[in-house]
Amino acid sequence: ISFYTFQTISYTVDIYRGRASVQKSFLQFLLFVSLFSQLIAGPIVRYTDIARELASRVLRFSDIAHGLRRFIMGLFKKVAIANSAGHLASVWMNRGIESQTVAGAWFGALMFTLQIYYDFSGYSDMAIGLGLMFGFHLPENFNYPYIARSVGDFWRRWHMSLSSFFRDYLYIPLGGKHRHMYLNLLIVWFLTGLWHGASWNFVLWGLYYLVFLVLEKSLPGRLLRRLPSALGHIYLIVVVIVGWVLFYFTDLSEGLEHLRMMLFMEDLPWFDLQIKISLANNLYWILASLLFCAPLVIWFKKMLQMVELRLGSGAGNLVMISASLAGLVISTVLLVGQTHNPFLYYRF
């Protein structure tokens, strides 16, 4: 409902502002508001994004092939990484204080940090891929958010269709940074939290990011920009991991208790045998998952271009087809052995 509602709001407002023409075909309007690939969990598609394609689409083999590869990549993210990280997050985030360790509390939060990124970006990849296969070019929703060095940069990269919606349809009309900036930010981030759920943990999560955005726009933000890039990145990752703890627990008291365990406010051991075993058994795929939070796909495409220059376009196509088939086979094998794991953003 939330994605559908935002899309119809964007259509109505754009018509009112004169930025779009009224869609006179009921069937084409119905297609816009019910486009199945992204209806449940985004990206949020504005009418102006696909108005031309609603009227006349051209199906190209290159788009279908690219869409299929994108869909497989999203499926792999969900099945091979997000579900595995989600299992570990469930184990370590829901441990009681009597059996938890400091390392275990941080490990659980890190696993949820990986789960929600690969789960949500995986769905967006699948939605964009399906759109391409039907002739629609849907907007990108993620741009490697975990490589950001500030909270502001993170939110320009994470769930970009939601961030830009609130910017264009709420923040700027309220006055943006030119009039009552801090009040405008408060309204936007209160509603951002509330959009994710009518629960105090989501409201607190939105206000939590508001605090850091306000700090970054003042003196601490100017100091942050002078830090070495590595320190800025560490700052962002710690802020995000703590934020996801608030997001994870709908019971606010449980979330705050988990944060106390992470921040050495409880009398807990640092490590125990179980966390060491869990780290040892999952180390390699976790490291690979952390690496793939960086723009390795862009690097891979550049390498393919070099291969094609030396060996011809057939060699690059062979590599892409082989990688896609491998991803599809691995995802299918894992799907057969797993129980039902719905996408996290189906809840919102």
Residues lower than pLDDT 50 in the chain: none
**Number of domains, the chain:** 1
Q: What is the pLDDT of residue 339?
A: 67
Per-residue pLDDT, 262: 92
Whether 258 sits among the annotated catalytic residues: the reply is no
Tell whether omega for the bond before 43 is within 30 degrees of 0, i.e. cis.
yes
Q: Quick check: is 303 in a domain?
A: no
Identify whether 13 is part of a domain: yes
Q: What's the rounded Cα separation, in Å, for the pair 188 and 182?
A: 10
Query: One of 196, 233, 258, 340 is an active-site residue; which one?
Result: 196
Domain-embedded: residue 149: yes
Supply the pTM of this predicted model.
0.90
User: Are 79 and 334 contacting, i.e. CB atoms less than 8 angstroms apart?
Assistant: yes
Output the pLDDT for position 318.
77
- What pLDDT is recorded for position 117? 96
The per-residue DSSP string of 42-109 comes to -----HHHHHHHHH-----HHHHHHHHHHHHHHHHIIIIIIHHHHHHHHHHHS--TTT--HHHHHHHH
- What integer best gives the mean pLDDT of the chain? 87
C-alpha closest to that of 130 among 45, 38, 53, 40: 38
Q: Pick from 148, 76, 144: which is nearest to 299 by CA?
A: 144
Structural domain span for residue 126: 2-262
- Please name the residues in contact with 157: beta carbons below 8 A apart, sequence gap of 6 or more: 142, 143, 144, 145, 147, 148
The answer to whether residue 312 sits within a structural domain is no
Give the model confidence (pLDDT) of 210-253 as tens digits: 999 998 888 777 777 788 888 888 999 999 999 999 999 988 99
- The DSSP-derived string for 168-216 is IIIIHHHTTTTSSHHHHHHHHHHHHHHHH-SSHHHHHHHHHHHHHHHHH
Domain assignment present for residue 289? The answer is no
- Residue 43 in any domain: the answer is yes
Write down the pLDDT at residue 348: 56
Residue 340: inside a domain: no
